[in-house]
Protein backbone atom coordinates (compact mmCIF):
# COMPACT_ATOMS: atom_id res chain seq x y z
CA UNK A 1 0.00 0.00 0.00
CA UNK A 2 1.41 3.39 -1.01
CA UNK A 3 0.28 6.92 -0.20
CA UNK A 4 -1.52 7.27 -3.53
CA UNK A 5 -3.47 4.05 -2.80
CA UNK A 6 -4.65 5.64 0.46
CA UNK A 7 -5.59 8.82 -1.36
CA UNK A 8 -7.62 6.70 -3.79
CA UNK A 9 -9.44 5.10 -0.85
CA UNK A 10 -10.26 8.59 0.47
CA UNK A 11 -11.53 9.67 -2.93
CA UNK A 12 -13.90 6.68 -2.99
CA UNK A 13 -15.03 7.07 0.64
CA UNK A 14 -18.72 8.05 0.92
CA UNK A 15 -18.12 9.16 4.53
CA UNK A 16 -15.32 11.56 3.55
CA UNK A 17 -17.55 14.69 3.49
CA UNK A 18 -18.26 14.24 7.23
CA UNK A 19 -14.75 15.51 7.96
CA UNK A 20 -15.99 18.95 6.91
CA UNK A 21 -18.14 18.99 10.05
CA UNK A 22 -14.99 19.29 12.20
CA UNK A 23 -12.59 22.10 12.96
CA UNK A 24 -9.30 20.25 12.50
CA UNK A 25 -5.98 22.06 12.27
CA UNK A 26 -4.31 21.55 8.90
CA UNK A 27 -1.26 19.34 9.25
CA UNK A 28 -2.49 17.58 12.39
CA UNK A 29 -3.32 13.90 12.23
CA UNK A 30 -5.62 13.40 15.17
CA UNK A 31 -5.69 9.81 16.37
CA UNK A 32 -6.96 10.47 19.89
CA UNK A 33 -10.72 10.76 19.36
CA UNK A 34 -11.02 7.72 21.61
CA UNK A 35 -9.86 9.99 24.45
CA UNK A 36 -11.22 13.42 23.45
CA UNK A 37 -13.24 13.79 20.26
CA UNK A 38 -12.39 16.67 17.90
CA UNK A 39 -14.30 19.97 17.88
CA UNK A 40 -17.31 20.13 15.55
CA UNK A 41 -17.65 23.43 13.65
CA UNK A 42 -21.21 23.83 14.93
CA UNK A 43 -20.22 23.70 18.59
CA UNK A 44 -18.49 27.05 19.03
CA UNK A 45 -21.36 29.02 17.45
CA UNK A 46 -24.03 27.01 19.27
CA UNK A 47 -22.37 27.38 22.68
CA UNK A 48 -21.79 31.08 22.01
CA UNK A 49 -25.50 31.49 21.21
CA UNK A 50 -26.42 29.61 24.37
CA UNK A 51 -24.15 31.90 26.39
CA UNK A 52 -25.04 35.23 24.77
CA UNK A 53 -28.71 34.84 23.97
CA UNK A 54 -30.10 32.09 26.17
CA UNK A 55 -28.10 32.95 29.28
CA UNK A 56 -27.25 36.60 28.60
CA UNK A 57 -30.69 37.73 27.45
CA UNK A 58 -33.07 34.94 28.39
CA UNK A 59 -31.55 34.67 31.86
CA UNK A 60 -33.45 32.33 34.13
CA UNK A 61 -36.37 32.25 31.72
CA UNK A 62 -34.29 30.06 29.42
CA UNK A 63 -34.92 27.02 31.62
CA UNK A 64 -38.38 27.08 30.01
CA UNK A 65 -37.88 29.40 27.02
CA UNK A 66 -34.85 27.59 25.58
CA UNK A 67 -35.93 24.27 27.08
CA UNK A 68 -32.75 23.89 29.12
CA UNK A 69 -34.75 21.65 31.43
CA UNK A 70 -35.42 19.24 28.55
CA UNK A 71 -31.75 18.96 27.46
CA UNK A 72 -30.80 15.77 29.36
CA UNK A 73 -33.78 13.93 27.83
CA UNK A 74 -33.38 15.42 24.35
CA UNK A 75 -29.67 14.62 24.13
CA UNK A 76 -30.36 11.25 25.75
CA UNK A 77 -32.87 10.37 23.03
CA UNK A 78 -30.30 11.21 20.37
CA UNK A 79 -27.63 9.06 22.03
CA UNK A 80 -30.20 6.27 22.36
CA UNK A 81 -30.28 6.05 18.53
CA UNK A 82 -26.57 5.24 18.56
CA UNK A 83 -26.70 2.45 21.14
CA UNK A 84 -29.84 0.49 20.31
CA UNK A 85 -32.09 2.00 22.96
CA UNK A 86 -35.59 3.47 22.61
CA UNK A 87 -36.54 7.12 23.20
CA UNK A 88 -37.10 7.90 26.86
CA UNK A 89 -34.77 5.11 28.06
CA UNK A 90 -31.46 6.96 28.26
CA UNK A 91 -30.44 10.25 29.84
CA UNK A 92 -27.39 12.49 29.46
CA UNK A 93 -26.10 13.58 32.84
CA UNK A 94 -23.21 13.57 35.29
CA UNK A 95 -19.92 11.76 34.61
CA UNK A 96 -19.38 8.15 33.63
CA UNK A 97 -18.02 7.47 37.12
CA UNK A 98 -21.10 8.91 38.82
CA UNK A 99 -23.50 7.09 36.49
CA UNK A 100 -21.61 3.88 37.11
CA UNK A 101 -22.16 4.35 40.82
CA UNK A 102 -25.91 4.74 40.23
CA UNK A 103 -26.14 1.78 37.84
CA UNK A 104 -24.03 -0.62 39.88
CA UNK A 105 -25.81 0.34 43.07
CA UNK A 106 -29.19 -0.33 41.43
CA UNK A 107 -28.00 -3.63 39.96
CA UNK A 108 -26.79 -4.70 43.41
CA UNK A 109 -30.18 -3.85 44.92
CA UNK A 110 -31.88 -6.11 42.39
CA UNK A 111 -29.34 -8.89 42.94
CA UNK A 112 -29.83 -8.67 46.71
CA UNK A 113 -33.59 -8.91 46.30
CA UNK A 114 -33.32 -11.86 43.92
CA UNK A 115 -30.31 -13.79 45.15
CA UNK A 116 -30.26 -13.01 48.86
CA UNK A 117 -27.12 -13.88 50.78
CA UNK A 118 -25.87 -16.22 48.06
CA UNK A 119 -24.83 -13.51 45.64
CA UNK A 120 -22.06 -11.50 47.22
CA UNK A 121 -19.56 -10.99 44.41
CA UNK A 122 -19.07 -8.27 41.80
CA UNK A 123 -16.96 -9.52 38.90
CA UNK A 124 -14.96 -7.27 36.60
CA UNK A 125 -11.82 -7.39 34.50
CA UNK A 126 -8.45 -6.68 36.05
CA UNK A 127 -7.65 -4.41 33.10
CA UNK A 128 -10.95 -2.54 33.23
CA UNK A 129 -10.60 1.24 33.36
CA UNK A 130 -9.53 2.19 36.91
CA UNK A 131 -12.48 4.48 37.68
CA UNK A 132 -14.84 1.54 37.09
CA UNK A 133 -12.84 -0.60 39.48
CA UNK A 134 -12.60 2.16 42.09
CA UNK A 135 -16.37 2.75 42.04
CA UNK A 136 -17.02 -1.00 42.32
CA UNK A 137 -14.51 -1.25 45.17
CA UNK A 138 -16.28 1.51 47.04
CA UNK A 139 -19.74 -0.05 46.59
CA UNK A 140 -18.42 -3.49 47.52
CA UNK A 141 -16.95 -2.07 50.75
CA UNK A 142 -20.15 -0.20 51.55
CA UNK A 143 -22.31 -3.32 51.05
CA UNK A 144 -19.90 -5.91 52.49
CA UNK A 145 -19.45 -7.61 49.10
CA UNK A 146 -16.37 -8.95 47.35
CA UNK A 147 -14.94 -7.49 44.14
CA UNK A 148 -13.36 -10.22 42.05
CA UNK A 149 -11.07 -9.18 39.17
CA UNK A 150 -10.44 -11.69 36.42
CA UNK A 151 -8.78 -11.91 33.02
CA UNK A 152 -11.18 -11.82 30.03
CA UNK A 153 -10.94 -15.59 29.61
CA UNK A 154 -11.75 -16.08 33.29
CA UNK A 155 -15.25 -14.57 33.16
CA UNK A 156 -17.07 -17.85 32.50
CA UNK A 157 -15.27 -19.60 35.35
CA UNK A 158 -16.11 -16.74 37.72
CA UNK A 159 -19.78 -16.87 36.72
CA UNK A 160 -19.83 -20.63 37.23
CA UNK A 161 -19.17 -20.13 40.96
CA UNK A 162 -22.86 -19.26 41.37
CA UNK A 163 -22.21 -16.36 43.75
CA UNK A 164 -21.97 -13.48 41.27
CA UNK A 165 -24.40 -10.62 41.80
CA UNK A 166 -23.23 -8.35 38.99
CA UNK A 167 -20.85 -8.66 36.06
CA UNK A 168 -19.51 -5.17 35.34
CA UNK A 169 -17.53 -4.80 32.13
CA UNK A 170 -16.32 -2.18 29.69
CA UNK A 171 -17.31 -3.40 26.24
CA UNK A 172 -14.10 -2.14 24.57
CA UNK A 173 -11.01 -2.27 26.75
CA UNK A 174 -9.35 1.14 27.06
CA UNK A 175 -5.82 -0.27 26.70
CA UNK A 176 -6.04 -3.11 24.21
CA UNK A 177 -9.22 -2.19 22.36
CA UNK A 178 -10.47 -5.75 22.89
CA UNK A 179 -14.21 -5.93 22.19
CA UNK A 180 -16.67 -8.08 24.15
CA UNK A 181 -19.67 -9.66 22.44
CA UNK A 182 -22.28 -7.92 24.58
CA UNK A 183 -25.16 -10.24 23.71
CA UNK A 184 -23.17 -13.43 24.34
CA UNK A 185 -21.60 -12.25 27.60
CA UNK A 186 -24.93 -10.92 28.87
CA UNK A 187 -26.61 -14.24 28.05
CA UNK A 188 -23.89 -16.10 29.96
CA UNK A 189 -24.27 -13.76 32.94
CA UNK A 190 -28.05 -14.14 32.98
CA UNK A 191 -27.76 -17.93 32.70
CA UNK A 192 -25.57 -17.77 35.80
CA UNK A 193 -28.12 -15.59 37.62
CA UNK A 194 -26.06 -12.38 37.44
CA UNK A 195 -26.96 -8.91 36.16
CA UNK A 196 -24.79 -6.94 33.76
CA UNK A 197 -23.54 -3.36 33.90
CA UNK A 198 -21.80 -2.23 30.70
CA UNK A 199 -19.47 0.73 30.28
CA UNK A 200 -19.77 1.91 26.67
CA UNK A 201 -17.10 4.65 26.95
CA UNK A 202 -15.20 3.25 23.95
CA UNK A 203 -18.21 1.85 22.09
CA UNK A 204 -20.85 4.59 21.87
CA UNK A 205 -20.38 6.33 18.55
CA UNK A 206 -17.55 4.00 17.60
CA UNK A 207 -19.44 0.87 16.61
CA UNK A 208 -23.02 -0.38 16.44
CA UNK A 209 -24.31 -1.21 19.92
CA UNK A 210 -27.63 -2.95 20.52
CA UNK A 211 -28.52 -2.55 24.18
CA UNK A 212 -32.10 -3.84 23.89
CA UNK A 213 -31.15 -6.63 21.48
CA UNK A 214 -28.35 -7.71 23.82
CA UNK A 215 -30.77 -7.77 26.76
CA UNK A 216 -28.26 -5.84 28.87
CA UNK A 217 -29.40 -4.64 32.31
CA UNK A 218 -27.63 -1.31 32.76
CA UNK A 219 -25.23 0.77 30.68
CA UNK A 220 -23.24 3.96 31.06
CA UNK A 221 -21.08 5.81 28.57
CA UNK A 222 -18.93 8.82 27.95
CA UNK A 223 -19.76 12.05 26.11
CA UNK A 224 -16.29 13.39 25.34
CA UNK A 225 -14.79 10.51 23.36
CA UNK A 226 -16.50 9.27 20.18
CA UNK A 227 -19.56 11.47 20.88
CA UNK A 228 -17.39 14.59 20.41
CA UNK A 229 -19.04 16.45 23.30
CA UNK A 230 -15.95 18.36 24.44
CA UNK A 231 -13.70 18.14 27.50
CA UNK A 232 -15.59 16.84 30.52
CA UNK A 233 -18.84 16.47 28.55
CA UNK A 234 -21.76 14.88 30.42
CA UNK A 235 -22.00 11.10 30.27
CA UNK A 236 -25.12 8.94 29.91
CA UNK A 237 -26.95 6.15 31.67
CA UNK A 238 -29.49 3.60 30.47
CA UNK A 239 -31.46 0.84 32.14
CA UNK A 240 -33.52 -1.93 30.62
CA UNK A 241 -37.30 -1.25 30.68
CA UNK A 242 -37.82 -4.23 33.01
CA UNK A 243 -35.76 -2.39 35.62
CA UNK A 244 -37.52 0.92 34.90
CA UNK A 245 -40.73 -0.96 35.78
CA UNK A 246 -39.18 -1.99 39.10
CA UNK A 247 -38.57 1.69 39.80
CA UNK A 248 -42.15 2.54 38.90
CA UNK A 249 -43.33 -0.12 41.39
CA UNK A 250 -41.04 1.35 44.04
CA UNK A 251 -38.89 -1.80 44.15
CA UNK A 252 -35.76 -0.07 42.92
CA UNK A 253 -34.10 3.11 44.18
CA UNK A 254 -31.69 5.31 42.27
CA UNK A 255 -29.14 6.01 45.03
CA UNK A 256 -28.25 9.61 44.14
CA UNK A 257 -31.76 10.88 44.69
CA UNK A 258 -31.23 14.58 44.00
CA UNK A 259 -34.02 17.02 43.36
CA UNK A 260 -33.76 16.91 39.55
CA UNK A 261 -34.73 13.23 39.65
CA UNK A 262 -37.83 14.04 41.67
CA UNK A 263 -41.25 13.63 40.05
CA UNK A 264 -42.12 17.28 40.82
CA UNK A 265 -38.91 19.16 41.69
CA UNK A 266 -40.68 22.51 41.83
CA UNK A 267 -43.12 21.33 44.46
CA UNK A 268 -40.15 21.44 46.85
CA UNK A 269 -41.55 18.71 49.03
CA UNK A 270 -39.35 17.35 51.85
CA UNK A 271 -39.91 13.72 50.81
CA UNK A 272 -38.36 12.21 47.69
CA UNK A 273 -40.66 10.81 45.00
CA UNK A 274 -38.75 9.58 41.92
CA UNK A 275 -39.73 10.85 38.48
CA UNK A 276 -41.11 8.21 36.17
CA UNK A 277 -38.68 6.39 33.91
CA UNK A 278 -35.22 7.60 33.05
CA UNK A 279 -35.91 11.12 34.36
CA UNK A 280 -35.54 9.62 37.83
CA UNK A 281 -31.85 9.03 37.05
CA UNK A 282 -31.00 12.71 37.14
CA UNK A 283 -29.41 13.98 40.31
CA UNK A 284 -28.58 17.70 40.38
CA UNK A 285 -28.99 20.63 38.01
CA UNK A 286 -28.07 19.76 34.39
CA UNK A 287 -24.79 21.21 33.02
CA UNK A 288 -26.55 23.28 30.34
CA UNK A 289 -23.54 24.59 28.41
CA UNK A 290 -21.84 21.19 28.37
CA UNK A 291 -25.05 19.48 27.27
CA UNK A 292 -25.39 22.07 24.50
CA UNK A 293 -21.91 21.19 23.24
CA UNK A 294 -22.61 17.46 23.61
CA UNK A 295 -25.73 17.78 21.46
CA UNK A 296 -23.60 19.25 18.64
CA UNK A 297 -21.16 16.37 18.99
CA UNK A 298 -23.88 13.73 18.87
CA UNK A 299 -25.36 15.47 15.82
CA UNK A 300 -22.10 14.84 13.93
CA UNK A 301 -22.69 11.10 14.33
CA UNK A 302 -26.35 11.35 13.41
CA UNK A 303 -25.25 13.16 10.24
CA UNK A 304 -23.79 9.80 9.18
CA UNK A 305 -27.21 8.11 9.29
CA UNK A 306 -28.12 8.88 5.65
CA UNK A 307 -24.65 7.61 4.62
CA UNK A 308 -25.04 4.22 6.28
CA UNK A 309 -24.77 5.24 9.94
CA UNK A 310 -22.76 3.27 12.44
CA UNK A 311 -22.58 0.24 10.16
CA UNK A 312 -20.73 2.29 7.56
CA UNK A 313 -18.61 4.02 10.22
CA UNK A 314 -17.65 0.63 11.65
CA UNK A 315 -16.61 -0.68 8.23
CA UNK A 316 -14.40 2.35 7.71
CA UNK A 317 -13.00 2.14 11.24
CA UNK A 318 -12.00 -1.47 10.62
CA UNK A 319 -10.42 -0.58 7.28
CA UNK A 320 -8.43 2.24 8.94
CA UNK A 321 -7.28 -0.04 11.76
CA UNK A 322 -6.28 -2.85 9.39
CA UNK A 323 -4.32 -0.40 7.24
CA UNK A 324 -2.55 1.01 10.30
CA UNK A 325 -1.51 -2.43 11.54
CA UNK A 326 -0.29 -3.49 8.10
CA UNK A 327 1.75 -0.29 7.61
CA UNK A 328 3.26 -0.25 11.13
CA UNK A 329 4.29 -3.88 10.88
CA UNK A 330 5.81 -3.47 7.42
CA UNK A 331 7.34 0.02 7.65
CA UNK A 332 8.36 0.18 11.33
CA UNK A 333 9.69 -3.38 11.64
CA UNK A 334 12.72 -3.92 13.85
CA UNK A 335 11.98 -1.11 16.31
CA UNK A 336 10.37 -3.19 19.05
CA UNK A 337 6.70 -2.39 18.39
CA UNK A 338 4.35 -5.27 19.16
CA UNK A 339 0.66 -5.32 18.43
CA UNK A 340 -1.18 -5.12 21.78
CA UNK A 341 -4.71 -5.22 20.30
CA UNK A 342 -6.57 -8.24 18.93
CA UNK A 343 -5.41 -8.96 15.38
CA UNK A 344 -8.94 -10.02 14.48
CA UNK A 345 -10.77 -6.80 13.58
CA UNK A 346 -14.09 -8.27 14.71
CA UNK A 347 -12.69 -8.54 18.24
CA UNK A 348 -11.32 -4.99 18.29
CA UNK A 349 -12.98 -1.61 18.91
CA UNK A 350 -11.97 1.52 17.02
CA UNK A 351 -8.43 1.75 18.37
CA UNK A 352 -5.13 -0.01 17.81
CA UNK A 353 -2.44 -0.25 20.49
CA UNK A 354 1.20 -1.14 20.08
CA UNK A 355 3.42 -2.09 23.00
CA UNK A 356 6.78 -0.37 23.10
CA UNK A 357 9.11 -1.15 25.99
CA UNK A 358 11.39 1.48 27.50
CA UNK A 359 10.75 4.61 25.47
CA UNK A 360 7.03 4.48 24.65
CA UNK A 361 6.21 7.74 26.41
CA UNK A 362 9.04 9.69 24.75
CA UNK A 363 8.27 8.17 21.33
CA UNK A 364 4.66 9.35 21.62
CA UNK A 365 5.78 12.83 22.64
CA UNK A 366 8.11 12.97 19.63
CA UNK A 367 5.28 11.83 17.38
CA UNK A 368 2.93 14.47 18.80
CA UNK A 369 5.59 17.12 18.16
CA UNK A 370 5.45 16.03 14.52
CA UNK A 371 1.68 16.61 14.44
CA UNK A 372 0.49 13.02 14.89
CA UNK A 373 -1.58 12.87 18.07
CA UNK A 374 -2.09 9.56 19.83
CA UNK A 375 -1.52 8.85 23.49
CA UNK A 376 0.50 6.72 25.90
CA UNK A 377 -0.77 4.40 28.61
CA UNK A 378 1.77 3.20 31.15
CA UNK A 379 1.99 -0.52 31.77
CA UNK A 380 2.44 -2.39 35.00
CA UNK A 381 6.17 -2.40 35.71
CA UNK A 382 5.68 -5.57 37.83
CA UNK A 383 3.94 -7.36 34.98
CA UNK A 384 5.18 -5.94 31.66
CA UNK A 385 4.42 -9.22 29.84
CA UNK A 386 0.66 -8.90 30.23
CA UNK A 387 0.45 -5.14 30.83
CA UNK A 388 3.11 -3.39 28.76
CA UNK A 389 3.60 0.31 28.08
CA UNK A 390 1.45 1.07 25.05
CA UNK A 391 1.05 3.64 22.32
CA UNK A 392 -2.68 4.08 21.61
CA UNK A 393 -4.12 5.19 18.30
CA UNK A 394 -7.84 5.85 17.94
CA UNK A 395 -9.50 5.86 14.54
CA UNK A 396 -12.54 8.10 14.35
CA UNK A 397 -14.01 7.35 10.93
CA UNK A 398 -15.96 10.62 10.93
CA UNK A 399 -12.80 12.60 10.31
CA UNK A 400 -9.83 10.27 9.87
CA UNK A 401 -8.63 9.77 6.29
CA UNK A 402 -6.73 6.80 4.90
CA UNK A 403 -3.97 9.21 3.90
CA UNK A 404 -3.79 10.32 7.55
CA UNK A 405 -3.01 6.74 8.51
CA UNK A 406 -0.24 6.56 5.93
CA UNK A 407 1.25 9.86 7.13
CA UNK A 408 1.00 8.85 10.80
CA UNK A 409 2.94 5.66 10.18
CA UNK A 410 5.56 7.52 8.13
CA UNK A 411 6.11 9.97 11.01
CA UNK A 412 6.28 7.09 13.51
CA UNK A 413 8.85 5.35 11.30
CA UNK A 414 11.02 8.47 11.25
CA UNK A 415 10.75 8.97 15.03
CA UNK A 416 11.97 5.41 15.59
CA UNK A 417 14.56 5.41 12.79
CA UNK A 418 16.41 8.53 14.03
CA UNK A 419 15.75 7.64 17.70
CA UNK A 420 14.06 10.99 18.18
CA UNK A 421 12.59 9.71 21.44
CA UNK A 422 16.10 10.00 22.91
CA UNK A 423 15.84 13.78 23.12
CA UNK A 424 15.46 14.95 26.76
CA UNK A 425 12.54 17.27 25.88
CA UNK A 426 10.42 14.24 25.02
CA UNK A 427 11.18 12.40 28.25
CA UNK A 428 9.73 14.89 30.75
CA UNK A 429 6.37 13.49 31.89
CA UNK A 430 3.35 15.78 31.74
CA UNK A 431 0.48 15.48 34.23
CA UNK A 432 -1.78 14.01 31.55
CA UNK A 433 -0.27 11.35 29.29
C1 LIG B 1 -13.85 2.84 30.16
C2 LIG B 1 -13.86 4.20 30.78
N3 LIG B 1 -14.76 4.50 31.73
C4 LIG B 1 -14.78 5.72 32.31
C5 LIG B 1 -13.87 6.70 31.94
C6 LIG B 1 -13.86 8.05 32.58
O7 LIG B 1 -14.90 8.33 33.40
P8 LIG B 1 -15.16 9.84 33.86
O9 LIG B 1 -15.69 10.58 32.66
O10 LIG B 1 -16.11 9.73 34.97
O11 LIG B 1 -13.85 10.44 34.23
C12 LIG B 1 -12.93 6.42 30.96
C13 LIG B 1 -11.97 7.47 30.56
O14 LIG B 1 -11.12 7.33 29.75
C15 LIG B 1 -12.92 5.15 30.36
O16 LIG B 1 -12.02 4.84 29.43
Dihedral sign for Cα 99, 100, 105, 110, please. positive
Q: Is residue 314 in some structural domain?
A: yes
Residues 143 and 69 in one domain: yes
Judged against a pLDDT cut of 90, whether residue 230 lies above it is answered with yes
Do 238 and 382 lie in one domain? The reply is no
Q: Which of 247, 268, 301 is the last residue of a domain?
A: 301
Residue 39 lies in a domain: no
229 in the same domain as 102? yes
pLDDT, one tens digit per residue, over 247-294 is 999 999 999 999 999 999 999 999 999 999 999 999 999 999 999 999
Q: Tell me how far apart the 2 most distant CA atoms of the chain are, in Å.
A: 69
Does 62 have pLDDT greater than 90?
Answer: yes
Across 105-109, average pLDDT: 98
For the stretch 310-351, pLDDT in tens is 999 999 999 999 999 999 999 999 999 999 999 999 999 999
pLDDT-based confidence at residue 103 (cuts at 50, 70, 90): very high
Of 301, 317, 335, at which residue does a domain stop? 301
Q: Which of 22, 30, 129, 236 is catalytic?
A: 129
Ligand 1: which residues within 6 Å by Cβ? 95-97, 129, 131-132, 170, 174, 199, 201-202, 222, 235
Which of 265, 283, 301 is at the close of a domain? 301
- Three-state secondary-structure class, residue 19: helix
Length of the chain: 433
Q: Are residues 329 and 393 in the same domain?
A: yes
- Judge whether 41 lies within some domain: no
To test the pocket of ligand 1, the residue of 128, 131, 169, 287 to mutate (highest count of ligand atoms within 8 Å of its CB) is: 131
Q: Supply the pTM of this predicted model.
A: 0.97
Residues 21, 95 within the same domain: no
Q: Are 22 and 118 part of one and the same domain?
A: no
- Note whether 98 and 246 are same-domain residues: yes
Helix pair 130-143, 96-115: axis angle to 10 deg = 40
Phi, psi values for residue 396, rounded to 5°: -95, 105
Q: How many domains does the chain have?
A: 2
- DSSP lists the bridge partners of residue 166 as 122, 195
176 and 198 belong to one structural domain: yes
Range of the domain at 324: 3-30+309-426
Quick one: 123 and 106 in the same domain?
Answer: yes
By most ligand atoms within 8 Å of CB, the mutation choice from 95, 127, 129 for ligand 1 is 129
CATH number for the domain harbouring residue 345: 3.90.1150.10
Report the alpha-carbon distance of residue 295 to residue 229 in Å, rounded.
7
Domain shared by 327 and 192, yes or no: no
Category of 196 on φ-ψ map: left (φ > 0), alpha (ψ -120 to 50) or beta = beta
37 occurs within a structural domain = no
**Averaged pLDDT, 293-320:** 98
- Whether 199 is catalytic is yes
Q: Which of 311, 330, 291, 328 lies closest to 408, judged by CA? A: 328
Element (H, E) at 138: helix 130-143
Amino acid sequence: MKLFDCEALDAADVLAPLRELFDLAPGTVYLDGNSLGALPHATAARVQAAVQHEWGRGLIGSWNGADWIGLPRRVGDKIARLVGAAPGQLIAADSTSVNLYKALSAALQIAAAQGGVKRRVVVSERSNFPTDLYIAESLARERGLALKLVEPDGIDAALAQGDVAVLMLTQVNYRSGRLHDMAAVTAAAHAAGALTVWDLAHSAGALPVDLLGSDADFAVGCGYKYLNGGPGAPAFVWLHPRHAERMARGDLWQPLSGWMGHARPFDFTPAYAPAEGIAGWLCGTPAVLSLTALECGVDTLLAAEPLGGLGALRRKSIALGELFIELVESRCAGHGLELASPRDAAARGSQVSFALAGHGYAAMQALIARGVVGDFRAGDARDPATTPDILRFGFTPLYTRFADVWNAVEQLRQVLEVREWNQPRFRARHAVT
